[in-house]
A and B are shown apart, each in its own frame.
Chain A
Amino acid sequence: MISGRCAACKNQRRKCPSDCIFSPYFPPNDPERFACVHRIYGSSNVGKMLQQIPVHMRAQAVDTLYFEARCRIEDPVYGCVKLISQLHQNLHDTESELARVQALIAFHKLQITQVELHQPTLDASQSSIEQFQNPWFIN
């Protein structure tokens, strides 16, 4: 029945069989989805890829193919690789900043430790004064 064709079979102008490999993932109400994927990968390649993937993983495979196809259409030179490159750069920049802040924390902690090292002589003399002044001081 012609009205039951999936988006892929409509695009390819062919009959949509009951076991059409595309129909679960390319509903007729979203022609743009198949058009994108077909433009970049070709219907035949997508069919071959889906055949090599277990059925329960095919929906995710089509989603990622559609995502990458859209990236490629929007950026014909770099596609989704540009996003990967940006993420690598983000990662590198964040790592550098984290290292810098951690070094700053270590420096401040060292300063605090050094200050505390000079305090015990002051504290020791203070506690002996307290013992003298406070008869109830319990050591």
Chain B
Amino acid sequence: MGGNSPCASCKLLRRRCARDCIFAPYFPSDDSQKFAIVHKVFGASNVSKMLQELPVHQRADAVSSLVYEANARVRDPVYGCVGAISYLQNQVSELQMQLALAQAEILCIQMQNDPVMLPYPPDHPKSYFLQNDLPQHLNLASSGNVIHRDHSLKIESIFGHDMVS
């Protein structure tokens, strides 16, 4: 009877890996980098508390999202995931503008051919593409001045107020 290999967390923390170790199911010993990054950003103690507050069936997803956020923060210590959010918002805004122009063009064409015909009634599901779907309570503005590659993010475009650094 040999002891089971300690999970990546217990290896890094240099402690005995208990049978009911909360980390073991999500941080296998063959992927030490995964826990190392999460520990660096959040801390083992905080991750443990977060997992303990969650039902077991949600913990795997929570770990995946924590790993994602930790990776983003290590790659970009200033903006973390917010850099990606801002970049994607701008991409969506640009595409929505192109879509609005294309819809206007098709409307012109259709009205030239058949003035009575209209593309979508106001309550048609496709009309939502011209609206901002983002959760309003997170107070994110859809317009911004972001150039993701050189990280010149203007924070007021995300938080809706002017920050003086």
Report A's interface with B, CB cutoff 8 A. 39-42, 44-45, 49, 52-53, 56-61, 63-65, 67-68, 70-72, 76-84, 86-88, 90-91, 93-95, 97-98, 101-102, 104-105, 108-109, 112
* B46: A residues at CB distance < 8 A: 39-42
B165 lies within 8 A of A84 (CB): no
Q: List 29 A-B contacts (CB under 8 A).
A: A40-B50, A45-B41, A45-B42, A49-B73, A56-B165, A60-B79, A60-B153, A64-B78, A64-B80, A67-B159, A71-B138, A72-B50, A77-B54, A77-B62, A78-B61, A79-B65, A80-B85, A81-B69, A86-B133, A87-B134, A88-B88, A90-B92, A94-B95, A94-B99, A101-B102, A105-B102, A105-B106, A108-B106, A108-B109
User: Closest CB of chain B to A60's CB: distance in Å?
Assistant: 5
For the complex, what is the distance from the CA of A82 to the CA of B81, rounded to whole Å? 11
Q: A91 with B95: in contact, given A56-B165, A59-B163, A64-B80 (CB under 8 Å)?
A: yes
8 further A-B contacts with Cβ under 8 Å, apart from A64-B78, A97-B129, are A53-B78, A57-B78, A63-B155, A68-B81, A80-B69, A86-B133, A90-B88, A93-B129
Decide yes or no whether B43 CB sits under 8 A from chain A: yes
A84 lies within 8 A of B88 (CB): yes
Q: How many positions in chain B have a CB within 8 Å of any CB in the partner chain?
A: 55
User: Closest CB of chain B to A50's CB: distance in Å?
Assistant: 9
A98 lies within 8 A of B102 (CB): yes
A81 lies within 8 A of B109 (CB): no
Report B's interface with A, CB cutoff 8 A. 40-43, 45-46, 50, 53-54, 58, 61-62, 65-66, 68-69, 73, 77-85, 88-89, 91-92, 95-96, 98-99, 102-103, 105-106, 109-110, 113, 126, 129, 133-135, 138, 140, 153, 155, 158-159, 163-165
Those 7 A-B pairs whose CB atoms lie nearest each other, nearest first: A59-B165, A87-B88, A81-B65, A64-B82, A101-B102, A94-B95, A42-B43
For the complex, what is the distance from the CA of A72 to the CA of B65, rounded to whole Å? 10
* B129: A residues at CB distance < 8 A: 93-94, 97
B53 lies within 8 A of A76 (CB): yes
> Nearest chain-B residue to A85 (Cβ)?
B65
A42 lies within 8 A of B42 (CB): yes
* B92: A residues at CB distance < 8 A: 87, 90-91, 94
Q: A67 with B158: in contact, given A76-B50, A84-B88 (CB under 8 Å)?
A: yes
